[in-house]
Amino acid sequence: MTINLNVNGKTETVDAAPGTPLLWVLRDHLKMTGTKFGCGIAQCGACTVHVDGTPTRSCVTAHDSLGDAKVTTIEGVTGKAADAIRKIWVKNDVPQCGYCQSGQIMAATALLAKNSNPSDDDIDAAMSGNICRCATYMSIRRAIKETAG
């Protein structure tokens, strides 16, 4: 079934089975592998993208449920919050292996866009859905606060 998706401001035509999660459409059909698979059940946040600006688990979001919603991935996320997050992530060497960081950056960007000066509790609440096994949690917390401060 052919469907048009708005991904990073571009119209992408995809032909995937009905109900196929956005994650696999991005990765396997559009070859945009920046969005990662971690658990497949919305538990780890590695697959986080923005749908109309809201952080969304692409692994449980059917691609054919999106209509003309705007999908933004790590490859395409821009703007003041994203620029600030990328900059501090690089300056502080926040990631380790980096695998979960697409999701972390998408979640942190959405947090910062909504709340320019988040507290530790705000950060924990916004970021606890994103698992990092390298445990960059403290680095992420410090970096978000530094960006805000």
Residues binding other proteins (CB under 8 A)? 16-17, 20-21, 24-25, 27-29, 31-41, 43-44, 46, 73-75, 85-86, 89-90, 93-102, 105, 120, 123-125, 127-141
* Alpha-carbon span 56 to 71, nearest angstrom: 9
Smaller CB separation from other proteins, 116 or 133: 133
Q: Which of 114, 115, 116, 82 is nearest to 101 (CA)?
A: 82
Provide the CA 62 distance to its chain's centre, in angstroms.
Answer: 16
Minimum CB separation from other proteins for residue 92, in Å? Answer: 9
Smaller CB separation from other proteins, 31 or 67: 31
Smaller CB separation from other proteins, 20 or 147: 20
Minimum CB separation from other proteins for residue 104, in Å? Answer: 9
Minimum CB separation from other proteins for residue 26, in Å? Answer: 10
Minimum CB separation from other proteins for residue 52, in Å? Answer: 20
Neighbours of 12 (CB within 10 A): 17
- 3-state SS assignment for residue 40: coil
Minimum CB separation from other proteins for residue 69, in Å? Answer: 20
140-144 contact pairs (CB < 8 A, 24+): 140/94, 140/104, 140/108, 142/92, 143/85, 143/88, 143/89, 143/92, 143/94, 143/108, 144/85, 144/88, 144/108, 144/111, 144/112, 144/118
